[in-house]
Structure 1
Amino acid sequence: MAKTACDHDVLIVGAGISGIGMAAHLEMMCPGRDYAILEARENLGGTWDLFRYPGIRSDSDMHTLGFVFEPWRHEKSIADGPSILEYLNRIVDERGIRQKISLGTKVVSANWHSDRACWELVVDKGGSRQTITANWLYLGTGYYDYDDPYDAGFDFSAFQGQVVHPQFWPDDLDYTGKNVVVVGSGATAVTLVPSMADKAASVTMLQRTPTWMFSRPAKDALANFLRRILPEETAYKITRWKNVFMQDKSFKTARNKPEKVKQFLHKKIQKALGDHYDPASFTPPYDPWDQRLCLVPDNDLFEAMKRGKAQVVTAHIDSFDATGVKLKDGRHLPADIIVTATGLRLAVAGKITVSQDGTPVDFAQRFYYKGCMFSNLPNLAVVFGYLNASWTLRADINSEYVCKVLNHMDAVGANVAMPYLADDHGLEEEDLFDFSSGYIQRGKHLMPKSATTLPWRLNQDYRVDKKALAEAPIDDGIMRFDHVDQRTQQQLEAAE
């Protein structure tokens, strides 16, 4: 890379899976490249540090949610939050990344200066504002609002118990012997209900609409067998590709033969629940994978239901009174604690105010380029993981691609790389996320555009993306490389 006058070659925002993955790729592929990670929270881990509710776990297997370069060594492939944090902490320590992380550093704004080929970031650290510059900006900020989850608009003024949102779980919450109602039917609710059932007097998952669920063992028998007979890296690679293939096959089968998949899912749930099976509570009004399927590892939810410790109620809420929830069908659910697992709120670029030469960037007017950059916006990349597979699959290939771009810039003496799209591009737009999930539909107006064809399409097929990024040339006629002579610019500014 042509030497710049910026403070850093690369600034990574976020020390979760995406940010740590990018740092590891820089260490492997761009040795000597100067970088720093800015993390708003006081701990690394992102999602896995934020969420502290009972049972917090992955809803993807760790052989694909884990990084391509770091084998998952635990026996369980559906892992709990602390195990995932341990995995991330081990990586940052073993690879010399921890000292590059600045915790408690919230990025407020980022402005690209074309005349200097620098991103200028305003950060808040301990209540004071500072300015940091970098030639390249990598946003590993996730996809949802850390501070402001979705508010379903419930009126809890009459309720005399405790209301908790999973995103802000109190450390001292004691639900022993209490009646708990979890409002929601997504992955968080499906995790919470069986995890709270052992201590609580009762736990009710109150859903307005059912969600498609599928069960699988928390331990991957093949992975554990292969680790005993093969080198760790080889066993991990085989398991990872097996799971990638199975994820892809399951998704495409659901889209092509939805009735067949419905029958399969129903049979598994009915077998697990026996006499406790109620088809109405497990039959959504949409096809499988129109929304993300909810994982039930080791049938834990169904086992809690059979023990009489948990129940699923499908109904509409009328109101909340002093002692619980009044339903529109006349029933009343007693509750000491109500958990509002009603979903997330999408956020773009971590809610950072992004500008280009002082003009605010409206991401909703930009097209995705190769799943990580944006039309006519230089030296910036993001991660928005797959909806139908593990988040880290996209994080890995995006990090690798950006490192290749950085190395190409170094080879040609460039300090600017921008995917160029003409005003009269004629691209045909497609529905960016063909998913009916509430958080997706609520946030669509914020999201960048996607075309029907690569490279301007945010694809949902990891195997296609991986091949495309590996085979397509970096200098593809779309990415424009340039060199801004910063020394000349600085001399002009000094003369003025």
Structure 2
Amino acid sequence: MTITENAPAGAATGADGVEHVDVLVIGAGVSGIDAGHHLRERFPDKTFAILEKMPGRGGTWWTHRFPGARSDSDLFTYGYAHKPWRGPSIATSEEITNYLDEVIEEDDLKAAIRYRHEVTAASWSSSDHRWTLDVLRGDTGETVRMTCDFLWMCQGYYNHQDPYRPEWPGMEDFRGVIVHPQTWPEDLDWEGKRVVVIGSGATAATVVPAMAEKAAHVTMLQRTPTFVAAVPKTHELAVQLRALDIPEDWTHEILRRAYIEQFNELTRMCLETPEEARQFLLGEMRPYLPEGYDVEKDFNPGYRPWQQRIAVVPDGDIFTAIKEGRASVVTDTIDTFTETGIRTSSGQELEADIVVSATGFNLSALGDIPFTVDDEPVDVSQAVTWRGIMISGIPNMAYVFGYFRHSWTLRADLVSDLVCRLLAHMEAKGATTVTPTLRPEDADMEIRPWSDPENFNSGYVMRSQHKMFKQGDRAPWTHMHEYAEERHTLPAADLDDGSLQYR
């Protein structure tokens, strides 16, 4: 075997020209870079590569180019446990990718990441104890093959190429421009233009105040409201600690714990006393809006607080734009597009030069990559999750799916720890294969949807239930637990309870 040029140390190519690594990570976003850090730290002798189909790192932070793109989670919890965050609590996409660049540099991951490498098929062979992947190289247009002993799916949950785009009557008659935030045109000029943003979620809450800085006026047209929470862009405690010249890793840990406890308390309130939580959230919004504003109409959803994500806005920027008259909210449905804008079902005419369809995204199940196990196609919708990390019947494969309420990275860190513990456990047992398998005592287990609508029912979740894997009614076949629980249960997960078969 010979070492391939630009391959990670130890990666080898056999006589058949196929490169092999011990672990192959799919995706160079927040989860994939985190996986790379843990592999580098825990297994210095293992070979690994990170395949990313985009031209750059960051995942959503690479693809999201719309105005004002930023986090809607605080960076002290969205950042990694091992890498102190030194910036404001709510950060721009550029600040986040700069942070990721530092991690890539510090962990020497640059040589391990292959950009413009898209996995188009993944096949497991039990006789060979390994995965074979077909990989389309965007730089050359050729398809190459790679093999690995363990596959780590860190591709996120967005279908970046196919966002959710509803069709409305009259769209072909509109003389203006219709854009979707996931495919934002670089040359779009909205200065002095009339803009209508369709949607009410985190993206709309980001785009509206950002565009309102230069637009003639921005109208957020929403079918139903979303809970919106104004938070300080920079936490007062961070300012105090930095003024005292406290070490950054101390500041990071203190703020991290403070934010975790804050969100734990809000989550508890939303689940146990939802009406109290509703009035709390509405009361927090009122001081930011014009006197007499109908908060109930525009910012009071019909669902329980936290049944969908709460849109976080730094320093209440969208409320400021509304208060200053640069933006407004219309809660109504669309009757039809017209030549000059949109007519709502109540008959209101919204004139627009630009319409932004901030209508969400389509969820991707394991990157929509076709999987086979021993030449049999895998239908993940018929499989069951193992702790929200592995899938029944699929050997040597783990995936990362973060929290809906807490920061995604909190779970990515927990998953990375467990996957590395599993890899070490396999080594100790002399096992080459591990497969989640239902036990005899699970024969009567109730199979439940991927997401319980009573727990979380955002549009992109409900639209994708049919293609996602299922969960059971007992551990370890459940998922979507809160961080307050999983921070204890995942590190203590029993790897020898019979739900994992080793060979």
Give the TM bin, normalised by the shorter chain: over 0.9
Conserved 8 A contact 2:168-2:334: no
Preserved CA contact (<8 Å) 2:156 2:400: yes
Structure 1 position 138 matched with structure 2 position 159: no
Query: Is there any run of 5+ residues in structure 1 with no aligned partner, and where?
Result: 483-496
Instruction: Measure, in 2, the Cα distance between the counterparts of 1:432 and 1:131.
Output: 32
Deviation (angstroms), 1:422: 4.2
Once residues 288 and 370 of structure 1 are traced to their aligned partners in structure 2, the CA distance between those partners, rounded to angstroms, is 25
**SS of the counterpart of 2:290?**
helix
Per-residue CA distance 1:233-273 (angstroms, 9 max, x = gap): 22212221221121121012112111111111111211111
* Cα separation, 1, equivalents of 2:373 and 2:240: 52
Whether the 8 Å CA contact 1:346–1:443 is kept in 2: the answer is: yes
Report the 3-state secondary structure (helix = DSSP H, G, I; strand = E; otherwise coil) of the residue aligned with 1:285: coil
Of 26, 34, 41 in structure 1, the residue corresponding to residue 54 of structure 2 is 41
1:233 aligns with 249
Tell me whether 1:96 sits opposite 2:112 in the alignment: no
Partner residue, 1:325: 342
Please say if 1:478 is aligned against 2:499. Answer: yes
Q: Supply the distance in 2 between the matched residues of 1:316 and 1:146 (Cα, whole angstroms).
A: 26
The alpha-carbon deviation at position 473 of structure 1 amounts to 3.3
Paired residue for 1:105?
117
Q: Which moved more, 1:29-38 or 1:446-455?
A: 446-455
Where 1:274 maps in the other structure, the secondary structure is coil
Counterpart of 1:233 in structure 2: which amino acid? D
Question: What's the CA shift string for 1:38-72, capped at 9, x where partnerless?
Answer: 10011111000000011001010001111111111
- Structure-1 residue corresponding to 2:129: 117
Distance 1:385 1:165 in 2: 24
CA distance in 1, matches of 2:412, 2:103: 15
* 1:166-213 residue CA offsets vs partner (Å, 9 max, x unmatched): 001111111000000000001000000001111000000000111111
Q: Which residue of structure 2 lines up, in the alignment, with residue 161 of structure 1?
A: 176
Q: Distance in 2 between matches of 1:274 and 1:203?
A: 17
State the secondary structure of the residue aligned to 1:23: helix
Ranges in structure 2 where 5+ consecutive residues have no aligned partner = 1-10
Counterpart for residue 23 of structure 1 = 36
Q: TM-score, normalised by structure 1?
A: 0.94
Alignment of 1:421 with 2:438, yes or no, is: yes
Q: Which residue of 1 aligns with 2:91?
A: 79
Q: Name the SS for the 2:289 alignment partner.
A: helix
Alignment partners' CA distance in 1, 2:20 and 2:394: 20
- Give the corresponding residue for 2:405: 388
- 2:490 match: secondary structure: helix
Is 1:243 the counterpart of 2:259? The answer is: yes
- Please say if 1:223 is aligned against 2:242: no
**2:194 is matched with which residue?**
179
Distance 2:474 2:264 in 1: 20
The correspondence for 1:128, drawn from 142, 156, 161, is 142
The CA distance in 1 between the partners of 2:124 and 2:256, in whole Å, is 38
1:327 partner letter:
T
Counterpart of 1:193 (choices 208, 221, 224) is: 208
Structure 1 residues 431 and 251, CA gap change in structure 2 (3 angstroms): farther
**What letter corresponds to residue 98 of structure 1 in structure 2?**
K
CA distance in 2, matches of 1:295, 1:308: 21
Task: Give the structure 2 partner of residue 485 of structure 1.
Answer: none
- Offset at residue 283 of structure 1 (A): 1.6
How far the C-alpha of 1:229 sits from its partner, in A, is 4.4
Alignment check: 8 A CA contact 1:141 1:349 kept: yes
Task: Check conservation: 1:276, 1:305, Cα contact below 8 A.
Answer: no
Residues 317-336 of structure 1: CA distance to partner in whole angstroms, max 9, x if unpaired? 11111110011111100000
Change (3 A) 1:63 1:440: same
Stretch of structure 1 that moved more, 343-352 or 272-281: 272-281
Matching residue within 305, 311, 318 for 2:328: 311
Secondary structure (helix, strand or coil) at the match of 2:330 reads: strand
Q: Report the Cα offset of residue 478 of structure 1.
A: 2.2
Provide the C-alpha distance between the structure 1 equivalents of 2:182 and 2:193, rounded to a whole number of angstroms: 21
Aligned partner of 2:390: which letter?
M
Match among 236, 244, 254 for residue 270 of structure 2: 254
Moved more, 98-107 or 212-221: 212-221
Q: Against the structure 1 CA distance between its residues 466 and 310, is the aligned structure 2 distance closer, same or farther, given a 3 Å change threshold? A: same
CA contact (8 A) 2:402 2:408 kept: yes
CA apart distance, 1:276: 5.7
- Aligned pair partner of 1:450 in 452, 455, 471: 471
Distance 1:314 1:66 in 2: 35
The letter of the residue matching 2:130 is: C
Greater shift in the superposed pair: 410-419 or 291-300 = 410-419
Asked if 1 retains the 8 angstrom alpha-carbon contact of 2:289 and 2:319, the reply is: yes
Paired residue for 2:459?
A: 438
What residue number does 2:423 align with?
406
Question: 1:387–1:460: 8 Å Cα contact kept in structure 2?
Answer: no
Identify the residue that residue 82 of structure 2 maps to in structure 1.
Answer: 69
RMSD of aligned C-alpha atoms?
A: 1.6
For the 8 Å contact 1:269–1:277, the answer to whether it is kept is no
SS in 1 for 2:172: coil
1:202 to 1:367, Cα distance in 2 relative to 1, 3 A: same
- Matched-pair contact (CA < 8 Å) for 1:207–1:313: yes
The 1-side partners of 2:393 and 2:65 are apart by 39
8 Å Cα contact 2:166-2:359 kept in structure 1: yes
* Alpha-carbon distance between aligned partners in 2 of 1:78 and 1:452, rounded to the nearest angstrom: 37
Number of aligned residue pairs: give it.
479
Q: Distance in 1 between matches of 2:193 and 2:78?
A: 34
Matched ranges for 1:351-366 at <5 A: 351-366=368-383
The 2-side partners of 1:105 and 1:224 are apart by 42
Q: How many Å separate the matches in 2 of 1:29 and 1:169?
A: 39
**Inter-partner Cα distance in structure 1 for 2:144 and 2:330:** 51
How far residue 108 of structure 1 moved from its aligned partner, in angstroms, is 0.1
Whether the aligned pair in 1 keeps the contact of 2:209 and 2:327 (CA below 8 Å) is: yes
Name the TM-score, length of structure 2 as normaliser: 0.92
